[in-house]
Amino acid sequence: KQLFESITFTTNSANLLASQILDFSKNEQKKIALKPSQYNVKNELIEVLNGLKTLVEQKENTLNINLDLPEDLNVTSDVVKMYQVFYNLIGNANKFTEKGIIDVQAKVVDVSSKISKLEVTISDTGKGISKQDITAIFNNFYQSVAEDKVHNLGAGLGLYLCKELIELFDGEIKIESTINTGTKVNFYLNLSK
């Protein structure tokens, strides 16, 4: 079962990378947009995070999940693009963390009777990001100066597209990091109830 889950996740990751490159190519022609559908926020986050757990554990990392979400929060939003954000950010944390901890915290704050704000913090105990890299990290095709030693670098589109996707949700992303200590990513998404 674990091998099957690993193969499934690897396939999904390859599809995600291909989708990111296609999204970027499309974005050069026209702006990407949300494709709303109805879903339960807590159920979908549990599903995506459980899927990522196998990948994280393969590198002997631990994924801690703390969801402070109502059971009955159903929204009309783009679940696929929400998945992309989590896959990218946790995938990055995992790539630069060895035998460490990746912590995911999520909570919901009601903005109005029609909008809920999903606030997420993803922190890791990985190698960290230099100040030089932090200033350019959201540029398209950007690769860290330290990434030459990391296998499976990807296309350098992950954080660029994450920022673009988060902004589609009228959200914002911030990254804080200290070399050899770890990285903390804070972002929020506005979801229509």
Tokens of 143: 């690769």
H helices of the chain, where?
Answer: 2-29, 41-58, 79-95, 131-136, 158-168
Task: Look at residue 156 and tell me whether its pLDDT is greater than 80.
Answer: no
Question: Using an 8 Å Cβ cutoff, are 61 and 100 in contact?
Answer: yes
pLDDT for 131 equals: 85
pLDDT for 138 equals: 77
pLDDT for 160 equals: 83
Rg of the chain in Å (alpha carbons): 16
105: number of Cβ within 10 Å: 15
- How sure is the predictor about 177, in pLDDT bands with cuts at 50, 70 and 90? very high
Question: Using an 8 Å Cβ cutoff, are 52 and 86 in contact?
Answer: yes
